[in-house]
Amino acid sequence: MTIDSLLNAADCALRTLFAKPRAKHASPSATESTGPLSPDESRQAAALMRVNHVGEVCAQALYTSQALATRNSALRVHFTQACREETDHLAWTADRLSELGSRPSLLNPLWYAGAFGLGLLAGRLGDPVSLGFVVETERQVGAHLQSHLELLPKADHASRAIVAQMQSDELHHAEAARTAGAMDLPASVKGMMRAAAKVMTTVAHHV
């Protein structure tokens, strides 16, 4: 690791946690008109979008740490580009939370630190493992987002449009990692990843 790469990683952490994210592409919600939501529906939508925002905070941490860990310059570019693409999701979910009159998770620094450590560990185990971690993470996120499409209020077209686009993008990232040489992770590792994600999503739903 070079000083420059460490500084870039620190800059990403600070921007993710404390700066307003800037999307490169317009939010999918821009062309959607959401009908009136009841207080309960607004709270439900906000809780789900807070969980999705946490997922994007973790994505920034994962891709940044994996780019830091790899010695393959082409793969570093791959991870860095994926991180930039995920910034759109970070911005879209943050904006939607604000529109719903809610806030991000208060534990975002903790989520970021945990995801960064996992990404660094995966990277240290080798590029095929690191890419396999991406494939499984994005696969699980895609399934998680599908469940949110079923749970979001039917009238909340704005949130639903964001989640649908995020799901499509995550599955694309999984396929790109698989093409780049990902290995299939053991079932036990996949199970631990699901358990960790369950804890995070349950807590972030409320805090």
Q: Are 93 and 56 in contact (CB under 8 A)?
A: yes
Q: Are 88 and 25 in contact (CB under 8 A)?
A: yes
Contacts of 174 (CB under 8 A, 6+ apart): 134, 135, 138, 139, 142
What pLDDT, on a 0 to 100 scale, did the predictor assign at position 1?
63
Mapped onto helix, strand or coil, the DSSP state of residue 156 is coil
Average pLDDT over residues 44-54: 96
CB atoms under 10 Å from CB of 190, counted, come to: 16
Q: Are 201 and 57 in contact (CB under 8 A)?
A: no
Average pLDDT over residues 18-32: 89
List the structure tokens of 158.
């704005």
List the structure tokens of 126.
């080798």
- CA–CA dist 145, 150 (Å, integer): 9
Average pLDDT over residues 53-72: 94
CB atoms under 10 Å from CB of 101, counted, come to: 9
Residue 152 has pLDDT above 70, yes or no: yes
The residue whose two tokens read 């890419």 is: 131
Q: Are 105 and 50 in contact (CB under 8 A)?
A: yes
Amino acid sitting at position 83? C
What pLDDT, on a 0 to 100 scale, did the predictor assign at position 8?
81
Q: Are 148 and 202 in contact (CB under 8 A)?
A: no
Question: Can you list the domains of the chain with their CATH numbers?
Answer: 3-14+38-206 (1.20.1260.10)
Mapped onto helix, strand or coil, the DSSP state of residue 125 is coil
DSSP code of residue 29: G
Residue 100 has pLDDT above 90, yes or no: yes
State the virtual CA torsion across 76, 79, 84, 87 in degrees, nearest 10: -140
> Which of 5-9, 36-40, 114-118 is predicted with the least confidence, judged by mean pLDDT?
5-9
Residue 9 or 45, more confident = 45
